[in-house]
Amino acid sequence: MVAPTNIRFPGSVDHGLVAYARQHRAAKSTVVVTAVDEWLRMQAHPRISFVAVGSERRAALVDGPQVWTVAEAWLAHPAGSRDAATVADAVGLSIADVEAALLYWAEYRDEIDSTVEREHEAQDRALAVWRDRRRLESA
């Protein structure tokens, strides 16, 4: 459900918003909705920030990797032997950072799972291109 809200921005904020929206080819309302959504998520998950990756924004640990990479590392360990300490050791993060990423993933499971899937597809495509390129050397 969409709830219309009237917001009055100070002139300098509005000018910055207009410039940002133009630069990113987005509507002002889209920029505001994204900013508020991310801000609310960061309030609920203080160790999480957001980074621009291509045309999308992704959840990442503050001063750390994107959340999907922690999820991927978690899934790489057998179900019976994975815990935050094991994953933290494997990826070089603190246990607290792994826990923060896991908590975010638990709340936004579909979003993070979708990112993991898209990254795996991109890796598969890159590997196929690399193999095709290697075949050219022996042709």
77-121 pLDDT, tens per residue? Answer: 999 989 999 999 999 999 999 999 999 999 999 999 999 999 999
Structure tokens at 129: 């291109």
DSSP-assigned beta bridge partners for residue 50: 59
Other beta carbons within 10 angstroms of residue 90's beta carbon come to 15
Mean pLDDT of the chain: 95
State both tokens at 54.
Answer: 């291509």
Q: In a 10 Å sphere around its CB, with 0-12 CB exposed, 13-18 middle and 19+ buried, how is residue 48 labelled?
A: buried
Is a pLDDT exceeding 90 seen at residue 54?
no
Confirm if 90 and 84 have CB atoms less than 8 A apart. no
Please say if the pLDDT value at position 44 is more than 90: yes
Report yes or no: 42 and 49 within 8 Å, Cβ to Cβ.
yes
Yes or no: say if 84 and 73 are a contact pair by the CB < 8 Å rule.
no
Band (pLDDT 50/70/90 cuts) for residue 16 is: very high
- pTM equals 0.86
Question: Per residue in 27-39, pLDDT tens?
Answer: 999 999 999 999 9
Name the DSSP letter for residue 64: S
Find out whether 108 and 59 touch, Cβ atoms under 8 Å: yes
The tokens of 51 are what?
């980074």
Q: What is the dihedral angle through the alpha carbons of 16, 17, 20, 24, rounded to the nearest 10 degrees?
A: -170
